[in-house]
Structure 1
Amino acid sequence: MEFSVSENALKTFARSITCLARLGNELVIQASSSQLVFHTLNSSRSAYQSITFKSSFFDVYTISGAQVQCSVLLKAVCSVLRSPIASVEHLTVQLPDPDSPKVQWTLKCYNGMRKAYWITCNVEPNIQHLSLDRRKFPSNFVVRPRDLNRLLGNFQSSLQEITIIATEATSVPSDAAGEIGGKAVELRSYIDPTKENDSTLHTQLWIDPTEEFVLYTHSGGPVDVTFGVKELKAFLSFCEGCEVDIHLFFDKAGEPILMAPKFGLDDGSSSNFDATIVLATMLTSQLREANSSEPPQAVTEIPAQAVAGTGSQAQQERCRANVSEHPSDHTRIWSELSGSAARSGSGAEGRHVQRERNVGASEQREIQRISRVQISKDASTRENVAAGPTLYPKCD
């Protein structure tokens, strides 16, 4: 396998790596004669992203054999791209043989300098495939990146999860018409029902889709989806850099939300690359909780990193992470969406969920139940070593 990229295509390529690195730790590379595909999956299996490049995207694109696949650490690839892209004439990536233990990344700079990196790869990666038909999502909207940035600016920067509530403009209750008018979409900061004395600022933002969105489609009753803000902002930065609008597809609480650029490889556009990000959403509907007279269920958490151990050990790991996140794992298990558990030799184990419940004696009396998905053939624990420069920058 060998491909070379330069100029504006190199900038798009670098943005793609940055976006992938903000979601996962491992980059899975799949190359065929017609396209190159990058995949990543976060450790909690709640976020998946794939970026597809047509062969015409590259200056040089050569594949020996029907298909080549391998995986490398994203932080190693980020170290290759830490050089200012404006100073790079072209980037060349070579895998001499399908069984080669290392991938060579070479930068040729305008000042005549040539930088070569050898990154250790795994030639038998744990491939995760997820294919969702965008046409089957009943609700979707298209928004410009700058407009979405402006809307998200109304929320606290520390917000971990956001809820989108979609209604028909004609279905707004008459008693609320004076308050929100024809604003059919609401953005709401997620409220953790287990926080009795929560002093966090909660924000609700009503939106008129005819004013803020390029396109808005929703029919039927109100629906809501709650998902992570971190992944949304990562994809927002990618689309903003590529100067394309964001297309969001969703169904209801508990079903995945899909985001893609406005163009796509399957819609007849002339673009030579495409991107897709799929996020798990909270199973519990915020609308149902708001209308229910029963006490809300305890909110569970998925940490940003997979945590080994149970009980006090898991609690110590979360403390060391120093993260105040409260994303929920009331989400569909990723193996159910991707079918990876059925393909693995230990499918039952792949769907196994380890539950724990820690009851604190603090003033807030916070109740948390932590759910862990045990992943078979977990490739995230492998140690990959990059030859050449070994100083890896932090990819946020």
Structure 2
Amino acid sequence: ELSMSGGALRTFSRCVTCLARIGSDLVFQAYPDKLELHTLNSSRSAFASVSLTRDFFDHFHLPADAYADAAPSSTPLQCSVLLKSVLAVLRTPTSAIDRLNASLPNPQASKLEFVIHCVSGRKKTHRISCSAESDVQTLALDRNGFPSRLAIRPRDLTRLLSNFQSSLQELTVIATEPAARLPGVDDGTGGKAVELLSYIDPTKDDYDSRLHTQLWIDPAEEFLEYEHAGDPVDVTFGVKELKGIFNIL
């Protein structure tokens, strides 16, 4: 059971809108100290997660019997619903809502209940069917095993992406160790250890005529955090999903 209002409700609404740009299913995972929202796109190429601590809510209660057979720190109480159904609940303007309550009667419940208490005194009740178990519920990501980690402000990422064509569909990021640059060797990149470049399928007929953009970045100047150890690592991903995340939050 949880309840939220005011700024927390507006933030929650933006989070759900953001996740809806990635996938079609929303997984709620409740722990004693937080609520996590997850989604995964149909091609399993993009995953998004939002974590909200219990202090974020006006009221947050998890029944003690939810962990009768499992350790509370490892196994959450969870359910999966369609994102479009949650968006329909949040269609009421937040300025017209006094508070929003959400509850799952029991771990095996077939419906997740939302109750909107309007400023006008009206009350709207929505019951959303819990869908079949989603792949995202079993998705395991060992973040400690990743060789690279970076953090950047959304406005700075927007500025960097403005160097690329708006029609670009995929982007490649290459991470290297800043110390890997040989001293005294000027390769034109200086201390810039991260490279962004437009990815265009080399098998396409118009590959040579397309605009190719390459951008070297100094982590100390652009990122809040940057960690990388070992050999260079590159990853190519869809730009649409990335913009869908930071354009909302």
TM class by shorter-chain length?
0.7 to 0.9
- Deviation at residue 31 of structure 1 after TM alignment: 3.0
Q: Is the 8 A contact 2:66 2:107 kept in 1?
A: no
SS at match of 1:232: helix
- Deviation at residue 16 of structure 1 after TM alignment: 1.9
Change (3 A) 1:223 1:41: closer
- Deviation at residue 81 of structure 1 after TM alignment: 1.2
SS at match of 2:242: helix
Structure 2 residue 244 is the aligned partner of structure 1 residue 234: yes
Change (3 A) 1:133 1:151: same
Equivalent pairs counted in the alignment come to 237
- Deviation at residue 51 of structure 1 after TM alignment: 2.7
- Deviation at residue 27 of structure 1 after TM alignment: 1.4
1:51 alignment partner in structure 2: 50
- Deviation at residue 14 of structure 1 after TM alignment: 1.3
- Deviation at residue 105 of structure 1 after TM alignment: 1.5
2:198 alignment partner in structure 1: 189
1:306 alignment partner in structure 2: none
Q: CA RMSD in A?
A: 2.7
- Deviation at residue 62 of structure 1 after TM alignment: 2.8
Q: Which runs of 5+ in 2 are unaligned?
A: 68-76
Distance in 2, matches of 1:208 and 1:147, equals 13
Distance in 2, matches of 1:213 and 1:117, equals 42
2:72 alignment partner in structure 1: none
Paired amino acid for 1:18: T
Paired amino acid for 2:115: T
Q: Is the 8 A contact 1:168 1:219 kept in 2?
A: yes
2:129 alignment partner in structure 1: 120
SS at match of 1:186: strand
Change (3 A) 1:95 1:135: closer
1:149 alignment partner in structure 2: 158
SS at match of 2:105: coil
Distance in 1, matches of 2:124 and 2:234, equals 49
TM-score (norm 2): 0.81
Change (3 A) 1:221 1:175: farther
Structure 2 residue 16 is the aligned partner of structure 1 residue 17: yes
Change (3 A) 1:70 1:170: closer
Question: What is the 5 A alignment of 1:295-374?
Answer: none
2:216 alignment partner in structure 1: 206
Distance in 1, matches of 2:190 and 2:243, equals 28
Distance in 2, matches of 1:23 and 1:50, equals 10
Change (3 A) 1:204 1:89: same
- Deviation at residue 38 of structure 1 after TM alignment: 2.4
SS at match of 2:202: coil
Paired amino acid for 1:160: Q
SS at match of 2:138: coil
Structure 2 residue 81 is the aligned partner of structure 1 residue 82: no
Deviations 1:100-150 (A, max 9, x none): 43322122233434333222223x524533343433322222212111110
Q: Is the 8 A contact 1:32 1:66 kept in 2?
A: no
Q: Percent identity?
A: 53
Paired amino acid for 1:62: H
Distance in 2, matches of 1:167 and 1:97, equals 48
Distance in 1, matches of 2:120 and 2:213, equals 50
1:31 alignment partner in structure 2: 30
Q: Which runs of 5+ in 1 are unaligned?
A: 242-396
Distance in 1, matches of 2:167 and 2:18, equals 19
SS at match of 2:23: coil
Paired amino acid for 1:25: S
- Deviation at residue 175 of structure 1 after TM alignment: 11
Q: Is the 8 A contact 2:25 2:134 kept in 1?
A: no
Deviations 1:162-218 (A, max 9, x none): 111223345447998363333222110102111132343221112122221223233
Q: Is the 8 A contact 2:45 2:237 kept in 1?
A: no
Distance in 2, matches of 1:216 and 1:100, equals 43
SS at match of 1:86: helix
Distance in 2, matches of 1:178 and 1:95, equals 59
1:66 alignment partner in structure 2: 66
